[in-house]
């Protein structure tokens, strides 16, 4: 028998829960144990953990990093509801980061919990599979299946208007428009992330994700690239993916250069090279035209 961790009542940014108390191992994190603890940025859970109850980490707005043992853990309902800032879920063995783990999995796990993708594919909460040197490739296949379903969902899926006093239909429409815009942004970010960490992806999944960016939401994709958010469009990797997907057929490198005056030098250098290549190809084929 283990003990149940009931409630976190401190105010630290970095929290590590002890493996045991009075010789009894911690096996359960109770319902709402960390509910609305907004200051916690990094949380380390012990390898004795067996289950996490409903709403345990809900609305931890500041949570960016979760360390959790690579084993089968039973999760309750809405455990990570409102944890929009969660960036990485690091699988551990004896309190150390798991060795031999594919580098993209911590980011994919974070999106699984943050966006409840495990509601689409239950196997995604099998942390022993995600952490296994061979099983992680099967886990990635499950992730790609869930991501494909998530992309195909209506952008207003699960929308619920927030009731603050009296509001009319226009207020609800504004809320819905904002919700849809946020959902599209999340989907674009997830697809880019999966394509950046593209190991184990099938050609079918890569094609589906690429079509989503370059054909279904090209204007929204371009907008995000041009925002140059920290950790997002600043990396040349995003533009290399955009090129590979055929994005330059819609928006030329020259057009992007005009939009990205404040981009990092590496990004501008890449776009300039692409522009020069396009110009050279145009001149070459133009020289082959028959003249009267």
Q: For 6, what's the count of Cα atoms within 13 Å in the CB-facing half-sphere?
A: 1
Can you list the residues of the chain whose pLDDT is less than 50? 284-285, 287-288, 291-292
If DSSP codes are grouped into helix, strand and coil, which group holds residue 272?
A: helix
Q: Where are the domains of the chain?
A: 1-150
pLDDT reported for residue 285: 46
Among 62, 52, 42, 53, which Cα is nearest to 106's? 42
Among 41, 87, 74, which Cα is nearest to 60's? 41
Q: pLDDT tens, 31-68?
A: 999 999 999 999 999 999 999 999 999 999 999 999 99
pLDDT reported for residue 230: 67
- H-helix or E-strand spanning residue 15: strand 14-16
pLDDT reported for residue 184: 96
pLDDT reported for residue 289: 53
pLDDT reported for residue 220: 94
pLDDT reported for residue 284: 45
Name the CATH architecture for the domain at 1-150. Alpha-Beta Horseshoe (3.80)
pLDDT reported for residue 160: 86
- H-helix or E-strand spanning residue 21: strand 20-21
pLDDT reported for residue 287: 46
Q: Distance of CA 273 to CAs 75, 225, 253, 276, 291, Å?
A: 49, 18, 9, 5, 30
């Amino acid at each position: 028998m283990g003990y149940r961790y009931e409630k976190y009542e401190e105010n630290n940014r970095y929290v590590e829960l002890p493996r045991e108390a009075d010789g009894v191992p911690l096996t359960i994190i109770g319902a709402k144990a960390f509910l609305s603890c907004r200051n916690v940025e990094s949380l380390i859970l012990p390898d004795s953990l067996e289950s996490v109850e409903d709403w345990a980490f809900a609305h931890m707005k500041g949570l960016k990093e979760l360390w959790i043992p690579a084993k089968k853990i039973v999760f309750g309902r809405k455990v990570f509801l409102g944890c929009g800032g969660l960036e990485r879920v690091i699988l551990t063995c004896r309190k150390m980061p798991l060795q031999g783990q594919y580098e993209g999995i911590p980011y994919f796990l974070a999106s699984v919990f943050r966006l409840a993708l495990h509601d689409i594919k239950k196997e995604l909460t099998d942390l022993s599979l995600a952490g296994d040197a061979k099983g992680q490739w099967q886990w990635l296949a499950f992730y790609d299946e869930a991501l494909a379903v998530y992309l195909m969902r209506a952008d207003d899926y699960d929308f619920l208007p927030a009731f603050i006093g009296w509001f009319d239909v226009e207020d609800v429409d504004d809320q819905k428009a904002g919700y849809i815009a946020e959902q599209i942004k999340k989907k674009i970010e997830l697809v880019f992330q999966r394509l950046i960490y593209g190991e184990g992806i099938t050609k079918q999944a890569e094609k589906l994700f690429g079509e989503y960016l370059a054909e279904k939401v090209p204007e929204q994709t371009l907008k995000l690239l041009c925002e140059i958010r920290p950790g997002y469009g600043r990396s040349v990797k995003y533009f290399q993916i955009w090129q590979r997907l055929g994005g330059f057929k819609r928006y030329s490198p020259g057009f992007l250069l005009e939009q990205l005056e404040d981009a990092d030098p590496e990004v501008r250098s890449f776009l300039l090279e692409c522009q020069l290549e396009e110009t050279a190809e145009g001149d070459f084929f133009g020289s082959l035209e028959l003249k009267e």
